[in-house]
Structure 1
Amino acid sequence: MGRLVVHLTRFAGAIAAIGAVAYTINAMTRTGGYVTVTVLSLRTGVPLAGSSAVRRRESVLDVWGSTLAEQFLSRADVLLAGLSAGVAALLLPAVLRALMAGRPLGRGEAARLGWIALAVTVAVVAGPWLTRTATAAVIDRAGLGSTFAPASGAEWGAGWPVAALLLVLAVAARAGARRTEAAEAASAG
């Protein structure tokens, strides 16, 4: 059962990383076409082309004539989340094997948890910021700055608890590893 869990973890991480990279590359092949960004309407009831009007405060905007950078950055949150899952899938199996074997977590496992926490933090902070940067560039290029602003990036809230929990777990594992090493040194000496 333990080997299955390790293999499923690796498989899920690989699928997430490959899927995120493919999704981003696919967006970049659409350079010159529509780029999709999430915006906040500065005013409601604003008429758009045709018979459309903005009725909600936050909406999705498709703007023609995208640049390569806009397409790439508009998917940066997905890319970094997928790569973060890939990093976790590479580092987590050693931690899982130690736990399933009933061994205390050592310095290596603590370091792995710390690296996973760092990867999640980068995805949580940089992903929405880069996506917001793309949205600002699209709004500016289309001359819609008086009507729209980049969405707030409120999606940050979902990843912070995960990153914080992983960091606390890494610190606790490191403290436990030090205590185990000290006890082993005391009993050997």
Structure 2
Amino acid sequence: MKTRRRMYAAVAVALLLGLVGPGAAQIKQLTPEKVLATLKPGQWVQLEGYTQRGFTVDCSEVQILTGDFLDDDWGLTGVVRTIDKMQREAKILSLPVKFDKDTEFENNTGKFGSFADLKVGMLVELEGTYLKDGTFLAKEVEDESAKMAKKPKLKNEIQAMGKVEKVDVVKRTITLMGMAFQLSDKTECKSAIK
């Protein structure tokens, strides 16, 4: 969370100070068709959407990211669906999330300090690594549940950041962390270009 916030803050400051000029990266609006035609596995993206039946996500926003990302820069925000206390695992949508002894837990109240405090129905923001076995290893966990009181629709929202696994032009889907995000004509698509 801290890494992502610093990255967003740096971009915002650069924009405000006018440091982004003709040779620097700029945000470009794209059509869903253009995104599907140009996006390749391994590219970094941020996807947002709402969960549907069958564990698909109706994608509301696609951001193609540029820059140097590390293996632990993956991110996921969503509601905890199940918890396995014995395995120290939870599921967000259908994605298994693992927590180890080094995982940091935080919130604004100071009452969320460990895996034992994690509850089904909590809205959490995770930073960590998507592993080859199809699980997410959480490095940092932040309880965002207070936001659901103001925006109840967040209980069905998924936000994911990482490397694209698969693009299916015919089905209009982007697969990220095993989750299929379905694009439509209403999907807002952006890309940072030089």
Tell me the TM-score normalized by structure 2.
Answer: 0.23
> 1 or 2, which has the higher helix percentage?
1
Structure number with bigger Rg: 1
For CA contacts below 8 A with separation 6 or more, give which structure has more relative contact order.
2
Q: TM-score, normalised by structure 1?
A: 0.23
